Every structure is written in structure tokens, then in C-alpha cells.
Structure 1
Amino acid sequence: MTKIVRGSEWRIWDLHIHTPESICQDYKNTPENWDKFINCLENLPEDVKVIGITDYYFIDGYEKVMAYKAKGRLKNLEKIFPILEFRIDTFGSGNENRLQKINLHILFDIDESKLEAEIKKIREEFIDNIKISKLEAHKTKKLSKENFSEIGGTLKDGFESLIPSTEEVLELVNSTTWKDKTFLFLGYKEWSNLEKNQQLKPLKDHLYSQVKAFFSNNIETNEKNQNWLNEFGNKKLLHSLDIHSFKDLDTYEFEENGNKKPIDNYHCHTWIKADPTFNGIKQIDYEPDERVSIEQIKPQEKAGYQAIDSVTITHSDFTHQTLYLNQNLNCIIGGRSTGKSVLLGAIAKKLNCDKPVKFGNQEYTDFVNAIVSGLSIAWKDGVENNDRNIEYFPQSYMYQLAKNKDGELDKLVEEIIKQDAVKNQLITNYDSFSSENNSDITTKINKLFQLQEELVKRKLKLKEKGDEKGIRSEIEKLTKELSELKLKIQITEQELEEYNKLKLKLEELTKTNETYNTQISKIQALKEKFFLNKDIDFDIVSLSESNRSYIKSSFEKLKEKFQKEWESEVDKISLKNSVIVKANSEVITEIEKNQNYIKGIEAFKNNNQYKEVEEKLKIQRDKLADITLIKKEIEEFILQIDSFKTSIKQAHRNFYIKIEEIKESLKISEGKLEILAFPKLKSNEFKELLNWSINQQSDEGKRIVNTSIENKVEDYFKLTNEIFEKLLSGTITLKGGNEHLGLALKLMATNYFQISYNILYEDTFNQMSEGKKAFVVLMLLLDFSDKDCPILIDQPEDDLDNRAIYKELVKYLKKKKKERQIIVVTHNPNIVVGADSEQVIVANQNGVDTKNRNGTKFQYITGSLENTKETDEKIEIILERQGIKEHVCEILEGGNEAFKQREKKYDIK
């Protein structure tokens, strides 16, 4: 069965378990209890994959455990380390009668293929070289159970009273033989008490410098103690119960039905993310914060549908293989054209990503598309699903976005902001406002131009009526002429005066009724104007079906109700006018029946000269009445025109004002990264409109078109208002095909403002270097995303400078990989090593000196950074010739010699 390799994975490492062979234990060292002990180990919780057999001074217990393993037992454990616990002669505090001995734990690197020889070497070249105390009498007595018993009387008494020298043990550990074969831990409790009882701090600091980590059996105080330990450096406090008896090892028992009994006492909260090897444990010295976690549940666990488990490749150009992925950071490395980006792009395309795998390279894209059919992807939950979401960033993607061509970056930022429901609603509301404002301005401009036309007509009509001064003179002349003719008529002066009053009154009322009847006709026509003609189907499309139905129904009922009320109000207003007309008509009827009026009519009806002058006078009076009415209408038109112009200008400014009102509410931040909203003038679009429509042959036209408005809002409004006034007055010349109304609509009803965004990360976005811009774009893509899906990035270093990679990107990847699975193609060692990639995928293209298995064009090998194997030139398949660490060094650093040469040249102290 092929071993599944996912690189560095989280496992529970319990490195403090004593055996029945240990000098100090409560199991009782019998064959029966040894079988029980092995049963306990075989039934540890399934996450426990690595244990340390930690016996005092001697390796006998480990040897016995490994004998069981050799017989096929303990298959649940991936690695068993031998750890010797030394009580050394540096003392912590205790009580006055009994000082606490410092416990030094020494983990040994064992090659299990040479197990017998390795154990013999530890006995003969380590244990046998330790003296049991510094006393002169014992200076030749080596560490052994026999010498403990001989000198102490009993094994236990000798163990309690005879203590090896701290200096001697550390000197041996640091010797050429053992310094690369051992890993040291200290008991936290005794070491933490070292300054008490007048002990010296230098001893404490010296011991701290010699070890790689600490042990504690108290999970309740672990966090507090770790915080205190951090004051000395960054070494980790590992948790284990320090098991000496079956009381803490209770997981082997079963119910009668075969189910395992619940775990009552055993627990270990030490999770280490590393291969179960000696090189794996060394990682907690290099990356303590990344590689160790003390908690009950598995750290950084991704949901099954949010992490790709494996990629199986069957295309003829590739070695048929399954690549298993880590839940955290996976780095694909290799030389040029070795199939790195091809693999990443094929995964993205298999999962239906619509981004190009390489901008402007169709041949490359076609090749990737051809591979997709020979690819299958399984997710962590065991499902093969090609429709699950990923985020794929091809080569130069961040750089392209950073250029903000066609506003792509603004669109990205807006999508980020829209993830917040409240902010999304603000933007949606603004879009709705913009659309409605456009319609409102369009309606008003059309009405304004109609009013302008009517005003022109009224002024022409006023001119046609004649000169008001001349009409008044004519009325005065005709009135005088009538007065002279009255003297010849058989009617008394009083009757004539009464008749003239009634006649003038009748004429005025008749004219008034004509005006009112015209008004009634216009008022009745307003019934056809719906009180509310808005349709809300678009506005409610995102609501649930039940809410949508309810709101639509309510809206339609209210529309019908308001329409009826509107028509009723129109009828009421018409009725008021009709009442006045009726009252006037009744007065006219009364006048027509008045005896003085009738007598006057009779007196003048046969006087043709008087009738002719009277008719002329009526015509002039009617003209004067018309002029008065027209002038009043003109005044009203001018007031309405001014009101519409003011309203239109304000409505046009509101495109800008509304963004100003909401910009603070759209602001978001994540750490040092901040996004600020602001109204941005689309000056290019505006200038294109002017260039396209205004005739620039005149100096005036040139001045208007070339007026600078770049990011100067008030200059923009000043210019638009000037052009608008000229369009209304017709005093601006347009290019052929353009009309004043059409340009006014495009000028004032179009929103030339958009919600744009300033990105701040130490500097404003425009002030950043290209590399920093690209990094900030990556942060935008990931920090503000509400997605949990895998992230695929192709060569991010292409967009960044080396300083940004090391200072920004590495730190960022370390943080982000804990939240989401990342797969990245890279040539940069800082990304792979600096970001502590959990899984490394090494790619190779078949060649004369770089052979693949079966001669296939592309092949891959996977493993952790701690996976190491010395290069064996005899192995023909290049990927199998050495370990992952060696491949990383060779591909990314140029090999050991190149790395060492650079280190010398840098001369870094």
C-alpha cells in the first residue's frame, strides 16, 4: 500500500510516558502488567501518533516496547522515541528537608533499521560514560542499576541519593557524537523554582540555553506558565501527564459489547505539526509558534468541503500519481517548465475557474485545458466535486489588478464592501437613487424645455397682441369718443352710467369664465397622470417569495387607493373652479335681466356708430385683458423655469452629495489595511461628451471644452451649470447631429460620479511601489473575503520585491494558512521556508540528466520541509534521489555550496 504523504500534519505527541521498567513507577514490573501496558498504548486516542518512552537514566523500557512493536504490535503509533530522564545535580526549591532535583529529558535519534546497534550505542557510548555523582568516592562509578543498588543499598535508594553531574551530562550531550543525535527538554516546575533558596539566575539561564522545550503535567496552568516562560525566549511548554501508572493510562478497557470505555483520566494536549521523525521534533526549535499548539482539539482544522484532499493525474504526459495536499500551505516548486503552473492551472480549470491560466498565451492555455480531462480532484470530506468554489490568482494577477485598468480594482473593493449587508444596502440604495435621480432629472429637463418653448410662444403672442401703451391710448380715445356719442342717445346720465358698469362687469365675468373653463379642462387632464407610477419589481427581486408577494400586493393596493384619492382631489379642485364659473354665470344672467342693462341695449342697438365704437373699445379692452393675462403667465413661466433650473442643478449635485453622505459608513479596516470611500469624478467620460458634442471652432467652444476640472468638484459644477444655461438659451453652438435638449439630458441627467476607494496600508495606494501595491491587492483579495475555500496563487513573487516577500508576504501566508488551504507555485525560498510550508510538491520535466519514472514528461514528489535524505547519485529517477529538504535547497538556493558561498560573502555576524 502506497504511503499517503501530506507533509507536516498535526498529531498528538505524548513524550512523557514511563514504562513498568522505569526505576520510579507504580505499574509493578510483571509480564502481566507489561501486556496491560502495551494494550494501553495500543488504545490511546486515535490522534496520539507519537510517544516518548521516558524512563530514568536507562533504555531498557524502550527496548522492551520496541520488541513488542517488532512482533506487529503498536501499529497505531507512527513513531516511538527513547527518552532518558536524568535527575541532575542542579536543584530547584522544595522544602527545607528535600530539594527538587532538575529533570533533564534527553530524546535520542534512533535509526530503527539498525535498532539493536543504536540501543547498544546509547548504552555504551552515552549511559556508560556518565558517573553517578561528583563525589571522590564515586568518580569511577559509571551510571548503572547495579552501582545504584551497591552504593545506595537498594536500587530506589541509590536512585534517590546519587545524582549525575549537570556539567558532565551536558558535556556529553554536546559532544561530536551526540549533539546532532539528541533533543533536550526540561521539567518546567523545578526549573521555574531555580531562583528560590538563594539559587543563582545564571544557572537558570544556562539550563534554558541548553534545552529546546519544557514539560509540564498541569494543563490548567499551561497558558499562564507559557506566558512567563516567554520572558526568557520562545521555547514551548509541552503538556503530558508524566505517566507512571495505569491510573493515567486508562484507555485500554472495553465494555461487554466491545465498545471502548470512555477516557476518564488520560489526556495529552500537545499537538505538534511535523513528520513523526527526529527531524520533525527539531522543527519545534526552529518554528515553535507555528509547530506547537497546546489544546484539546486538532488545531487549524478545515471543514471537509473547504480543503482539497488529493489530485489524481492520469494524462499521458504525466506520471500517473495521486498528490495528497495539506490543509494549510502547499508549495509547488521546480525548475523552469517543469509543470508547476500547469498543475496549478489544471486544478483551477477542473474546478471551473474562469480566469485565464496565463494572460495572452493561448497555446499554454490550450495545453492546460487538455490536461483537465485527465485530472480528478477529491475533497477532504471524500467527495469528488468540480463545482466547489476556489480562488485562483494566475501569474501577474495582483499586478494587473493593481493597475486598476477599467476600474477592475474598484470593482474588487466594492465587492469586498458589499459582503457587509449594511454596506451592501447603502451601495444598492445609492444605485437606486442614481437611477431614480436620472429619471427625475430627465423628466424635469424635458419639462423645462417645454416651458421654454411655451415661454417663447407667450412672448410671441404678447408681441402679436400689440403695444400695451398704444392699446391703452386707443382705449382712452375710444372711451372719449363714446362719451361724446352718449350725449345724442335718449337715456339719462344715471341710466347710462349704470348700464356701462353692468356691461363692463358682464364682459369681465365672461372673460373670467373662459379662463376658468380652460383651467378646469387642464385640471381634469391631470387625472391621467398617475399619482404613483413607480414599479418596484426590481427593488424587491432579492426578497423571499412570500415577502415579495406580500409587498407587491400591498404596493399595488396602495397605488390603486392613492390613484382614486388623487382623482377625487382633482375633481374637488375642478369643482371649486366650476362653482366659481356657475356663480359668475348666475351674475351674468342677472345682469342680462337687469332693466338698466336691457334699456341700455335697446338705446344703443339702432345706433350703428355707437355700436361700432363700442365694439372697437371691447376689442381693445379684450386685448389689454389678454396682455395682462399673458404677462402674468410669462411671470409664472419664468418662476417655474427658474425653479426647475435650480431643482435640476441641485439634483445633479446630489449625485455627488449622496456619496459624501454615505462614505463614512462604507469605510472598513483590517489591521493596518484600511479602505476609505469617496466620490470620484469620471472626468474622462465627461470630457468625451464635450469633445463629441460642442463645436470648438469658436474661442468660446474651445474654452468650454478645455476648461480643467480634474478632481476639482466645484470647477466641474461651475462648468456644467454654465453649459446648461447656454443650452437653455441656445447660445452655444453644437456639432452636427447634436441637439440642445439631447446634450442637456446627457450633461445633467448622467451621473459622472462613482463611489471610488482609497486603499491605505502605511501609505496611500497611489504612493506605493508596484510590488507593495500587488501585495496590498493580495491582502484585499484574502483579508476582506468572507470565503473559506482553497486559495491557488501562481508565483506571487513575480509581482513583489524581495523585501516585500520576506517582510510582508511570508508573515501574511503564515497567518492566512491557518484559516484557509493555500496552494502556491513559487521559485522563492522565503515563501517555502520562511512561511514554513507544510507540504512541498517538487516538479520535474524529463530530460537527459533529469529522468522521470517511465520517461513521462512531468512527475511530482511530495513531502515536508523536514523530510531529508542524503543525495544518492546512483538512483536514476531524479526526484527519488534525495529528500524534500535537499530538493528545496537545490532548486531554490542553488544547492548547499551555493548557499554557503553566499553566506560567506554576506559576512553576516
Structure 2
Amino acid sequence: MKINRGSEWRKWDLHIHSPMTHSTSNRYKDLSIEDFCKEIINKDIDVIGLTNYFYITEVEYNEVVKGLDNKCYVIPNFEFRASDKNTKGDHINFHILFNPKLGIRNILNSIGNVKLNNHTNKYCREADILQLGIDSVTIDFESILNQLKTDFKIIEDFIVCVPYTGYGGFKVDNKPRNISQEKKFDELSNFILGNNSSKEYFSNNREYCLGKDICIIDKNKAIINCSDAHSKEDISNKFTWIKAHPTFEGLKQIIYEPIERVKIQKEKPESEKLDSLMIDKIIFASSDNKFTTAPIYFNKNLNVIIGGKSSGKSILLYNIAKTFYENQNDSVLKYKDANDNKEKDLYDLSIDDPEFDFTVENYLGISQNIKRENGKNSILGSIKYIPQNHLSDLVDKSLRNSNELKKYIRNLLREDPKYNKIYEDFVEKLGQNDEIRKNDISQYFIYQEELRKKKEELQHKGDKESIIKNIEALESKIAETKKDLTPEQTIEYNNLTSEYSELEKAKNSLLGDLEKIYNFYESTNYALNELKAKKTLLIENLELEDIKNDYAEKLTFIDNAIAENESIKKLTIKDENENFLVLENNIFNLKLNIINKRLNELNKKLAPLNSLFENQNLIINYQKTISEEKIKIAEIEQIEKETENITKTADDRKNKVFEDIKNNRKLYDNLLIDFVSRIDKIKEEDPELKIEGKIYFNFPKYREIIIDFSHGNTKSYSEYRIFNEENKALMEYDFEKYLTDLKAAFENIENGNYRLKNNTSKQDAIIKILEQKHFFDHWDITYKNDTIHKMSTGKASLVLLKVMIKLSETKGPILIDQPEDNLDNRSVTNELIEYLKEKKKERQIILVTHNANIVVNADAENIIIANQRGQSDDDELGSPYLFDYINGALEDVNPISVNQNEKDLLKSMGIREHITQIVEGGKEAFKKREEKYGF
């Protein structure tokens, strides 16, 4: 059974002569009709226009139809020589293609009533033409059209086409008489025989100047390329791809859609759409024959689902969406139950039918079931589903102040991968900045804690001035006892004791530096190992082996840093009593040995001098005390120096926090700048439709967080503008004033003037006050100077749809349920239909609709008819399935009268008849479409 996907590209050759053509140009020699037909089938031609001059016999037509054996559709093409001539002096040829349902005999009877040109008693009949000679007869173009219009309906029963250039073409020079003739053939032809060189001319308005009058023909016309075969070798050397069913009704579609349905090229037209991103078919599985078991096939372009009320249209669309949605719990697939206020699936068929399943297969033959394991990825995650009333709900007054609309607009802007990457990088940078800021604040408080300890340590060391005075007093006492020393001995003694004190200070500083380095090792060891873990993960995640090797080499500095840090540890080993063990062969060992050696030498030199003092032990104690006091002073000075350095570092870190907040705010400004070109895309296409991005701050949410940790009685927050309860989220504000308030709040929390709850630390409060997550990018849509937040629901829905139309970049299918809801007919005609016609070239579209104009004028390639048994008296005994579907093309015509005995409503008529019966205004929509190209 041949798969039906509606209108698809097929190879058509509408001007091909058979071996039975009655002309001196017949070069088929002895080729039989059977072999002629085999050649056509071998060349994969789906439709031919069987052509002969002035008449086609029933024998010729029947033999060719029989030989093609339903493998190729045959349209009779009568080729005439007009009495009009072109500027080359050749008679203009014109072709009339007839609907085969008329029958050859009826066609011959009609054209037999038309007189041959310049003959009063000779008619367009086989006998008369043979008598006069086929190469010498002509016929009046308008006369034969008038006769055919009397007997038949133009377009419905016959179609006129004429070559524009080449032999028999109607193109002429610019003389008024000839222009009038060209205009006539242009007006009266339904499409043009030619090639791509004529395509642009007939795709635009043609202007004919006749004296003072100007006539404009504004009907686009299809250009059809044909082989005009007169020999076996010519068959299919030229042809045209036509997107239609291989029927006369299919041929009619190129009159209404002359550009979209016709392609002149060698290879079969293929869209740039990926087969992996398009749905080929779906299959229901259910119990008790609830749903049809037959696959339902989809076209790669526009698929429209129509049907009566509760016929299963939305069910079909929803199940496709849920099967492919990346997150099957996405809110777009849910509704909120008014009874229990819980989110539920729009259509959960498995509740009543545990056996229910739904399978969707893409054009690569890869399928996916609606029942898929948790965490299993969708094979088509880029699908866009817009449920019924979704757009109007987004802009409904009750939701105007919610985040849904803002997020929706932002997500539309992010559909372009380039801008999605910009936004993701922006969010990632914000997250990194948050962590950096928290770490900076934490580090600031670590510095503050170090300062507190230093102040405490300084207090334990005693008063610096008192220690200096004590040293001076002790030195005075020693000086009093120096009277027993000679001047030379006194100088030597002073030099030795001074050097001794300095060495003791150096030794103390050396051990102090050793401890600082040990502490540094402890703090860096964890950080370096974390960095190493990140490096390992990066290298393992790199895909290309040469890149992996290159960066493994480049990042060895991390391992080297860890090794170097370990070498620091070896210098700073502590024993069980937490005393440093100074190891050999390092700078500390060398320096300590030198100092100890010199101290020993000094002790030996001081010993004989100390013995000269009257009270030797007292003097030694004085010397020791002086040395210790000088070490204290050195330690105090070191602590003061460290305190100064820590204070400066803490201040720098604090300043950095606020500088980072400024830079963080600039990220938002830069984001708006980065998205300008994305937004300009809309402005260029529709200057009245604008998207504007602004940066706001969610003051109400921010205030809630601040109040949560602030002391309830003192209400310190009331002193600051940024915590004012009158501030709104969408309020203009001065960033510099915001920053000033932040700094003041920081200072007052730190010094205790801002009261906090007992369970909140100063550090935690400052981290929360400096949180930047309350900034947000807000996108507003303006149409004709009216913002979307102030529009009526219907107008806002249309505007949002227009934005979605113009910004949508993902290449997966678009699924829309009744997009015409809340739109007036003019909006549907002017906006929606044009969108569908353009977008279906880029993406597969599947939509449910009740609007006939969408079905017909958007030229849907595939129409799916949905039906629920028992909805009308006509189908109670029809399909065995409760829900059944059938699909086909607009050109599928099968009048009810043909199938009066068919019980199944879906099979009882063609797609066109279903449309006219089901969709309100369906008949009128077809009429308007045909009138647009009427003659």
C-alpha cells in the first residue's frame, strides 16, 4: 500500500508526444507504445501530458493509459497552432490540458465545433485536419477558449498553457499591436511553458503599455519545463518537479500556488530540514479499539488537523508533544485543576486505559514511545508546542505581573543558538561572580578575625612604651656597674650585647616566618588539590586526543605547584608538641645554624667581661631581660606591621566587593547591548513591532529577605532607601544611590549600629544584603506604541505570536493548537497564514484548526481528518475505532456521490469534501482561493 503524506514532490512531464503523434516531426521510428510506456516508467515520471496536435484519438490515449498500468497518471494535452504570429513570423503554439474525467470523446466533440482559421466549412476535427494537412492548419485562440468555456469549466475541466520564448512563444517586440497580443496570451493562459529564465518575469507584476493606457497583470504564474519529446531519447530530458498528487486536481494547485509548488531542477527538491528533526508517522496503541491502529503519516511541511468537536484533534497533537518533550512534566503540557489546585496532564489517556501507548517515528526511522524511562533523553528535544489558549493565557490580565510572559519572551530571544550561548555565558558569569563575592566577604571577615587576634596578641605583649622604659632602666643599672671596665672594654661590651640582642630578634623572626609559611601551606594545600581535581575532569572531558594531550601538558603547572607546596611542608614539620623541627639543607637550617653559632661565640666573648662585674649573675639576668624585652618590641612592631598590612588587605577586599558589584551590573548592560542585533531583526521586518530590554531590581523580594534577618523592634532597615516598602520590581532607580545605601548598611552591620536577629551573623547578613540575584533582565514588547502589558488579550496574543514567528530559530517541529483563537479573521489572513507559508519552508508544522482559511490559503500539504464515532448519525456504523483518522492533500477529491454505500464517514469522501463539511467557511475558502486566480 502506497504511503500517503499529502502533497509531495513528483516528476511531471506535461508535454510529451507518443509514437502515435501525427506530425512529420515524429522520430520514434518503430518504437511500440509498450516500450514507450516502459521508458516513461523507467525514468520515474509520475505524470505526463500526453500531447498531440489538434486532436488525440481514443485509441492513442487508451493504449498509453493501459501501458502505464496506473504507474503514471496521463493528462491529455491538445497542442494547437494559433492564427496569431510572433515577431519571428512563427505561429504561436498553445496547449490545452483536459481533465481525464471528461473523456476523450467529449473533448473531441467540443473542439469539433470550432472552425479552423480561414475556412468557412472546415472544423477542428480529425477528417478535416487530415484533408487540409496538419502542418497547414491554424485555429483562433479565443474562439476555441470560448467554445470550451461553453461546454466545460475552465480550470475545473481544462487548463491553458503557452510557451513564452522559443519556437511558438508569445513573446513579442514592443510595438503596440504586438504588445496587445502578448497581453492577450498572458491574460488567458493559466501557466507558462518555459524554463527558469522566465521565472522572475512571471513571478512579478507585468506592465503592458497600450497607448495612454497601462494594464498591469498581477497574477503570478508557474513556469513548467517539459521535454516536448518526439523520440525515445527525448523522454524526460526536461521535466518539472510539482508538489501535488498525480492528478488533474493536483495540477490545478500550481495555478493557486505557482511559486511554492513548482521547481525546475535536476534533483528532487529537498528542504534543508534534517530528517532527524521531522516526524514521519505516529501510531496509537489502546484497548477496546479506542484508537485506530493504522499509522498516521506526516508531510515535511504543513500538516493541518481538522475535525468535529471532541474528535481527537488536540489529543493527537498533545501526545506528539509529550512524547518528544525533553521534560515530560513541563508546565506547557499541564493545566491547573480548579478543584484541587494541582497541575495535571492536559490529556492523560493512561488513567482510563493502562494499555494506552503512543509511538512517534522520525524520518530516519528512529522511534520513541510516550512511555519512556525517567532520565531517558528525547530523540527530538527542539520541538515547540503551543497548546490551545496558551498565548492568551500568557498575556491574560491575571498573569500580567507574573514571570511567565517575561520568561517566554526571553526564551524566544534565546532560541538562536548564538544568543542562547551569550545568555548562558552571562548567567554562568553571574554565578561565578556570586561565588567570588561570597568568598571575598568571607575572606574580609577572616581578615577581621585576624585583626581581632592581632589586637588581642598585642595586648598580651604589653605596652610598648613601658617595655622601652624598662629596657632603658636595666641598661642604666648595667651602666652603673661598668665603672670596673676600661673604656675599651665598655665599647666591646656594648657592641657584643647589641649584636646579641639583634641576633636573638633575628632568630625569633626566623621562627615566626617559619610558622607563617607553615600556615600558608595549610591554607593552599586544599585549594591546589581542588584545582587539580578540576584539571583532571577537564582533561577527561576533552574529546579530541591531540587537544587532550596538548592541554594535559600545558596544565602540568598545577601538579608542579602541588609538588612545590609539598616542598614547603618539608621545611615546616612539627613534632608531637607542636614545636618546629628544623631540617637540614634548607634556608631555615642554614640561617639558624649561623645565628646559633654566632650566639655561642658572643656568649664566650661576653663571659670574661661579665666576670668583671661586681654581681655577675645579676648583670647576666639584666642582659637576658633586655634581650627578651627587645624581642617583645620587635614582636610588637611586627604585629603592628602585620595589622597595618591586614587592614589594608581587608580594605582592598572590601573595595573589591563593591567594585565587583559595579562590574556585575555592567554585565546586565552588556547583555542588552549583545541582544541589540537580535532585536533589530524584528525592527527591520516590522518597524512598529519592538522589543526593549531593561534591567530592574526586585525590591519587594529583596526587602523580604532583609526583614527576615533584621531585628524586629529596632527595624534598622527603615533608614535605607533600598529597603523602602514602596519600591516596586519594575521601578526605575539610581544605581549609584543603591550602591551608597549598600555601603552604609555594610558599615553599620559591621560596627553593630544595624541590629540583627540573634541567630544571624554579621557575615551572613552582609552576604545577603550584597546579593545581586535580585537584578533581572526584563523584556517588553511594544506594538504601535502600545506595550504588551497594556493590550487587550486578543491583540497581545497576536503580537506575541508575531514575535514568536519572527524570533523562532529552533529547527524542530512547531505544534500549534488552534492558533486562530483570540485572533480576528483579518489577523489570521494577514499575519498567521503568511507566517505558516514562510515557516513551513524551514520547519515542519503540525497544527489543529477550525479556520478554513488556514487550511486552504496556507496551502497545507497534508490534512489529517479526525473523527470520533457516534458524534453524528452518519457514522454510527462506520469505523470500528472510537477515534479514527485519515489524511491526504487539498487536491484529494472524491465526491460523496461516488461512495454513497461507504459506511465509514472518513472514507466516504475526499479530503476537500471533508474540509467543506467540517470546517466552517470551507467552501467559501476554496472559492476565494480559486477566484484569486480566476479568469
TM-score where L is the length of structure 1 = 0.80
- Show the counterpart of 1:592: 603
Q: 1:236 Cα deviation (Å)? A: 1.6
> Match of 2:501, SS?
helix
For residues 651-692 of structure 1, give each alpha carbon's deviation from its aligned partner in whole angstroms, at most 9, with x where no partner exists: 555545567678767877499359999987676665444232
Is the CA contact (8 Å cut-off) linking 1:401 and 1:408 kept in structure 2?
no
Q: 1:726 Cα deviation (Å)? A: 3.7
> Match of 1:812, SS?
helix
Is the CA contact (8 Å cut-off) linking 2:879 and 2:905 kept in structure 1?
no
Amino acid at match of 1:775: L
For residues 77-124 of structure 1, give each alpha carbon's deviation from its aligned partner in whole angstroms, at most 9, with x where no partner exists: 442112221211221121xxxx1111121112232xxx6xx3333222
Amino acid at match of 1:563: I
Change over 3 Å in CA distance of 1:13–1:679 after alignment to 2: same
- Show the counterpart of 2:356: 373
> Match of 2:875, SS?
coil
For residues 840-876 of structure 1, give each alpha carbon's deviation from its aligned partner in whole angstroms, at most 9, with x where no partner exists: 1222232343525157533333332223355559666
> Match of 2:760, SS?
coil
Amino acid at match of 2:160: L
- Equivalent of 1:695 in 703, 711, 726: 711
- Show the counterpart of 2:122: 141
- Equivalent of 1:90 in 84, 91, 94: 84
> Match of 2:192, SS?
strand
> Match of 1:796, SS?
coil
Change over 3 Å in CA distance of 1:51–1:545 after alignment to 2: closer
Change over 3 Å in CA distance of 1:81–1:613 after alignment to 2: closer
Change over 3 Å in CA distance of 1:558–1:372 after alignment to 2: farther
- Show the counterpart of 2:211: none
> Match of 1:603, SS?
coil
> Match of 1:68, SS?
helix
- Equivalent of 2:612 in 599, 602, 611: 602
Within 2, Cα distance between the matches of 1:642 and 1:522?
21
Change over 3 Å in CA distance of 1:57–1:37 after alignment to 2: farther
- Show the counterpart of 1:640: 649
Within 2, Cα distance between the matches of 1:373 and 1:6?
25
Amino acid at match of 2:48: I
Amino acid at match of 1:15: L
- Equivalent of 2:296 in 316, 323, 332: 323
- Show the counterpart of 2:111: 127
Q: 1:16 Cα deviation (Å)? A: 0.7
- Show the counterpart of 1:847: 871
- Show the counterpart of 2:48: 51
Within 1, Cα distance between the matches of 2:9 and 2:926?
30
Amino acid at match of 2:123: K
Q: 1:339 Cα deviation (Å)? A: 1.0
Q: 1:238 Cα deviation (Å)? A: 0.4
- Show the counterpart of 1:103: 93
Q: 1:603 Cα deviation (Å)? A: 1.7
- Show the counterpart of 1:6: 5
TM-score where L is the length of structure 2 = 0.78
Is the CA contact (8 Å cut-off) linking 1:350 and 1:375 kept in structure 2?
yes
Question: Is 1:346 aligned with 2:319?
Answer: yes
Question: Is 1:214 aligned with 2:208?
Answer: no
Q: 1:331 Cα deviation (Å)? A: 0.7
Q: 1:496 Cα deviation (Å)? A: 4.3
Q: 1:284 Cα deviation (Å)? A: 1.2
Amino acid at match of 2:314: S
Question: Is 1:175 aligned with 2:150?
Answer: yes
- Equivalent of 2:161 in 177, 185, 189: 185
Q: 1:240 Cα deviation (Å)? A: 0.4
- Equivalent of 1:74 in 62, 68, 76: 68
RMSD between aligned residues: 4.6
Q: 1:49 Cα deviation (Å)? A: 1.5
Within 2, Cα distance between the matches of 1:491 and 1:414?
94
- Equivalent of 1:279 in 240, 244, 249: 249
- Show the counterpart of 1:706: 723
- Equivalent of 2:199 in 201, 204, 226: 226
- Show the counterpart of 1:405: 404
Number of residues of Structure 1 aligned to a counterpart in Structure 2: 846
Amino acid at match of 2:754: I
- Equivalent of 2:515 in 509, 521, 530: 521
Counterpart mapping for 1:154-165 below 5 A: 155-156=133-134, 159-160=135-136, 162-165=137-140
Counterpart mapping for 1:279-318 below 5 A: 279-300=249-270, 307-313=278-284, 315=286, 316-318=289-291
- Equivalent of 1:205 in 162, 173, 183: 183
Counterpart mapping for 1:292-691 below 5 A: 292-300=262-270, 307-313=278-284, 315=286, 316-318=289-291, 321-349=294-322, 354=328, 355=330, 357-360=333-336, 362=344, 365-367=347-349, 370=353, 373=356, 380=363, 386=369, 388-389=379-380, 391=383, 393-395=385-387, 396=389, 404-405=403-404, 409=408, 412=411, 416=415, 419=417, 424=421, 440-463=436-459, 485=480, 489-492=483-486, 495-496=489-490, 499-500=493-494, 502-528=496-522, 529-530=524-525, 532-533=528-529, 534=531, 535-536=533-534, 537-540=536-539, 542-544=541-543, 550=549, 554=553, 558-568=557-567, 582-594=593-605, 598-599=608-609, 602-605=612-615, 625-651=634-660, 653-656=662-665, 669=678, 672-673=681-682, 686-691=702-707
Change over 3 Å in CA distance of 1:375–1:690 after alignment to 2: closer
Is the CA contact (8 Å cut-off) linking 1:275 and 1:867 kept in structure 2?
yes
> Match of 2:304, SS?
strand
Change over 3 Å in CA distance of 1:679–1:497 after alignment to 2: farther
Within 2, Cα distance between the matches of 1:349 and 1:41?
48
Within 2, Cα distance between the matches of 1:834 and 1:436?
52
Q: 1:36 Cα deviation (Å)? A: 5.2
Is the CA contact (8 Å cut-off) linking 1:195 and 1:204 kept in structure 2?
no
Within 1, Cα distance between the matches of 2:758 and 2:241?
78
Q: 1:293 Cα deviation (Å)? A: 1.4
Question: Is 1:793 aligned with 2:793?
Answer: no
Is the CA contact (8 Å cut-off) linking 1:664 and 1:677 kept in structure 2?
no
Within 1, Cα distance between the matches of 2:176 and 2:787?
61
Question: Is 1:732 aligned with 2:754?
Answer: yes
> Match of 1:602, SS?
coil
Q: 1:215 Cα deviation (Å)? A: 0.9
Larger mean Cα displacement after TM superposition, 647-656 or 679-688: 679-688
Larger mean Cα displacement after TM superposition, 495-504 or 72-81: 495-504
For residues 868-895 of structure 1, give each alpha carbon's deviation from its aligned partner in whole angstroms, at most 9, with x where no partner exists: 3555596665445544223323433346
Within 2, Cα distance between the matches of 1:376 and 1:656?
48
Is the CA contact (8 Å cut-off) linking 1:656 and 1:753 kept in structure 2?
no
Within 2, Cα distance between the matches of 1:37 and 1:236?
31
Within 2, Cα distance between the matches of 1:854 and 1:732?
78
For residues 225-252 of structure 1, give each alpha carbon's deviation from its aligned partner in whole angstroms, at most 9, with x where no partner exists: 2123334241121000212233413xxx
- Equivalent of 1:270 in 237, 240, 259: 240
Within 2, Cα distance between the matches of 1:747 and 1:794?
46
Structure 2 gaps, min length 5: 207-218, 338-343, 370-377, 396-401, 573-581, 684-690, 790-794
Q: Percent identity?
A: 27
> Match of 1:103, SS?
strand
- Show the counterpart of 1:64: 59
Change over 3 Å in CA distance of 1:718–1:566 after alignment to 2: same
Within 2, Cα distance between the matches of 1:598 and 1:129?
154
